[in-house]
Each structure stands twice: as structure tokens, then as C-alpha cells.
A and B are shown apart, each in its own frame.
Chain A
Amino acid sequence: KQEVTQIPAALSVPEGENLVLNCSFTDSAIYNLQWFRQDPGKGLTSLLLIQSSQREQTSGRLNASLDKSSGRSTLYIAASQPGDSATYLCAVDGNDMRFGAGTRLTVKP
């Protein structure tokens, strides 16, 4: 059974800092990995999708990497802003979609 873990559960950083969010998974037989953002009381917004054959994807200040062999993905956020404050979730798509519990990010002005 696929297990997805995100550490840390919460993170607080000052504005402007570069930061890395971590996602680990136990079964490397996946189709893709997605990173999402969730604001309080809202649904999830897809940030990046990495296919199993890819190593990384970039969108603006966001860069996500995937290492299937070690069961790890990272989401790198450059020059963080208060508007980046949200919960970030990763999801691994294998036999079915499995989500991590998320990392709650607070960026302080």
C-alpha cells in the first residue's frame, strides 16, 4: 500500500527566503506526482505535475523534482512572499491517487 509522507507538518519563514518542502512515498511504481496548494476553506489548486519519466518541472518561482528510486520529491519555492502562505500537498498517482497530509506554510512579512 502506497504511503505518502510530508515533513515538516508546518513551516514558518520570513519573506524573501528560499525554501524546500519535502514529500516521500513508499512505492516507486507511479504514473505521476502532483503538488497542490490549498487555501483555508477552499479546494486544491494544481501547481506542478511531474510525469514518472521526468525529473523536474518548473513554473515561475516554483520548481519540483522527482527521484522515483529514492521515493522522494521536493518543491522549491524561491523568494517566498506572504501570498505563498497556504497548505501544500503532494499526491502520488499509482494504482490510485494517494495524498500526503500537507505542509502548512506561513510566510511572515
Chain B
Amino acid sequence: NAGVTQTPKFQVLKTGQSMTLQCAQDMNHEYMSWYRQDPGMGLRLIHYSVGAGITDQGEVPNGYNVSRSTTEDFPLRLLSAAPSQTSVYFCASSRVYNSPLHFGNGTRLTVT
């Protein structure tokens, strides 16, 4: 099992550009989620999904979209990048809600 795979590892965007951060898991997990990690602030939940076709907002959803068309994939879309979105983004999954989370290795995004 590869676990949770995130691509790309690094990305630099200009303000106003859009992009998609990819997340895939091969563990048949129902629950998937996206977080951003900023220095001194811990991780903050952006969006989550409890199963294919179901998504919901977390603590900081503005400027981000998600979709869950398959169990395996949960991409995060930045619609119009802003410098405030410079961060490290983590995708995580768990077998079901309320079970241990498995994290990917993150995508470091810089918006100039």
C-alpha cells in the first residue's frame, strides 16, 4: 500500500492563478480531509468528505473547492491564488470518521 499520496510536493504560483492539489489513497478509506499548516498555528481543516459524492466545509474553506467523485481521490482546487494561501497543505484519510487519520507528506505552496 502506498497510503496517502499527494502531488505535487512543491508548487509556486502567481497571485490569481488556479491549480489543483492532488490526493489519492489506496486503503479504501471512506473519510478524507484537507488541512493547511502555518507556522505557530497548528493544522486547520479546510474541507472534508465522509464518502464519495459527499463533501463539507471545515474551519477555513474560503478560496478552496473540493469534489469526491471516487473513494480514492479527493482533489483540492485553489480558484484564484492569493499570498495568504501560502502554506503547507496536508491530505489525510481514515477508514471511517472517528478512526485514526493517515496523512500524506504534504504539498508546500508558495503564492507570490
Q: Are A43 and B104 in contact (CB under 8 A)?
A: yes
Shortest Cβ gap from B99 to chain A (Å):
7
Contact size class for A?
20 to 34
Q: Considering the chains assembled together, what is the distance between the CA atoms of A100 and B41 in angstroms?
A: 8
Alpha-carbon distance between A91 and B103 when the two chains are bound, in angstroms: 13
Docked-complex contact A49 and B100, CB < 8 angstroms: yes
- In the complex, which of the residues A34, A42, A98 contacts B101, with contact meaning CB atoms closer than 8 Å? A34
Q: Are A91 and B43 touching (Cβ within 8 A)?
A: yes
Task: Quote the shortest CB–CB distance from B3 to chain A (angstroms).
Answer: 9
CB distance from A93 to the nearest CB of B (A): 7
Q: Cβ of B101 and Cβ of A99 under 8 Å apart?
A: no
Q: How many Å from the CB of A8 to the closest CB on chain B?
A: 14
Prevailing SS type, chain A contact patch: strand
A45 to chain B, nearest CB (A): 7
Contact B90 A99 (CB under 8 A): no
Interface size in chain B (residues, C-beta < 8 A): 23
Q: Could you mark each residue 12-53 of chain B with 1 if its beta carbon is under 8 Å from any beta carbon of chain A, else 0? A: 000000000000000000000101000011111100100000
Q: How many A-B residue pairs have CB under 8 A?
A: 57
A107 CB within 8 Å of chain B: no
Q: Is there an interface contact between A49 and B105, defined as CB atoms closer than 8 Å?
A: no
CB distance from B4 to the nearest CB of A (A): 7
Cα separation A31 to B99 with both chains bound (whole Å): 10
Contacts of A102 in B (CB 8 A): 42
Given A34-B101, A98-B59: A44 touches B90 (CB 8 Å cut-off): yes
The answer to whether B103 touches A44 (Cβ under 8 A) is yes
- Known contacts being A43-B4, A43-B103, A46-B100, is A100 close to B90, with CB within 8 Å? no
Write the residues of chain B forming the contact surface with A, with a CB cutoff of 8 angstroms.
4, 33, 35, 40-45, 48, 58-59, 90, 92, 98-106
| Interchain Cβ contacts under 8 Å between A and B, 6 examples | A4-B42, A32-B98, A41-B105, A96-B59, A98-B45, A99-B42
Q: Which residues of chain A have a CB within 8 Å of any CB of chain B?
A: 4, 31-32, 34, 36, 41-46, 49, 51, 89, 91, 93, 96-102
